[in-house]
Amino acid sequence: MIVISGSPAWSRTVDHIAASLTGVQLIICTEQAGYVARLATDGAGLILVDGDRADWRFWATTPKASPATRRIPVVVVSGQAEVRAEALRAGADVSLAPDMLGTELQVLIRNNAHRLSVEEAARLEAQCAEPLPARAREAIERFNAGEYYAQHDLFEAQWMEESGPVRDLYRAILQVGVAYYQVKRSNRRGALKMLLRSFQWLNALPDTCQGVDIRSLRADALRVREALDALPEGDDLSAFDRSLLRPVRLID
């Protein structure tokens, strides 16, 4: 189920996409009273918040404050770059410009269609306590050397070989690396799309997994996202601070 706060103009786009997908129900939520209870009771899978409303912070942050709903991904949709940046700092999982919904909403729905069961969550915790595989360690070395194309192939091979939930660790770093590769190619929109997708996996991982400092990687990716989002469409990224493309940190 997708929940939308209010009735923004872009809700028609969401309604059209939801209607094309099997088993996806769209709910419009306008009453603040009982908001969390309704999310939990109805089994919400994704929350879309109208970031151009004055009260967007309530709709975005309230679910994150309750153990019953804090795992539901929150997407703030706004035409204002400063609101999108503030939404991420306030705890939203994703922020989008309205014109990105058409291409990104199906990805968001697909990525959040599956939740880890109690057993899978326990397995992820156990796998995160294991050492980083040699191929993944080599991929991080390539990433940290700025060889983002090479890290993609190594992480993809590691992801395909792994069947457990820790495979999302490799997918998350891979996608951040691809985003950085797009920055080097001055492809702002491509970089933003890949960062958006990477946050789905980064946010589902613990702060440390197989010795990788996920907490720092999240923060680094967010800084890159905010810097890119602040640049105008069509910018050649000459003004982008390349020092923001920081290495993946490993914790002994």
Q: Output helix, strand, coil percentages for the chain, rounded to the nearest 5.
A: 55, 10, 35
Is residue 232 domain-shared with residue 205, that is, in the same domain?
Answer: yes
Is residue 249 in a domain? no
Report the pLDDT averaged over residues 42-71. Answer: 87
Residue 65: give its domain's CATH number. Answer: 3.40.50.2300
Is residue 57 domain-shared with residue 147, that is, in the same domain?
Answer: no
Residue 71 has pLDDT above 80, yes or no: no
Q: How many Cα atoms occupy the beta-carbon half-sphere of 26 within 13 Å?
A: 19
pTM exceeds 0.75? no
Percentage of residues in the chain with pLDDT exceeding 70? 94
Is residue 128 domain-shared with residue 185, that is, in the same domain?
Answer: yes
Report the pLDDT averaged over residues 188-210. Answer: 87
Residue 178: give its domain's CATH number. Answer: 1.10.3450.10
Is residue 193 in a domain? yes
Q: Over the stretch 15-48, which tens digit does the pLDDT of each residue have?
A: 888 788 766 777 888 889 888 877 876 777 889 9
Total domains in the fold of the chain:
2
Is residue 251 in a domain? no
- Domain extent for 221: 118-244
Is residue 106 in a domain? yes
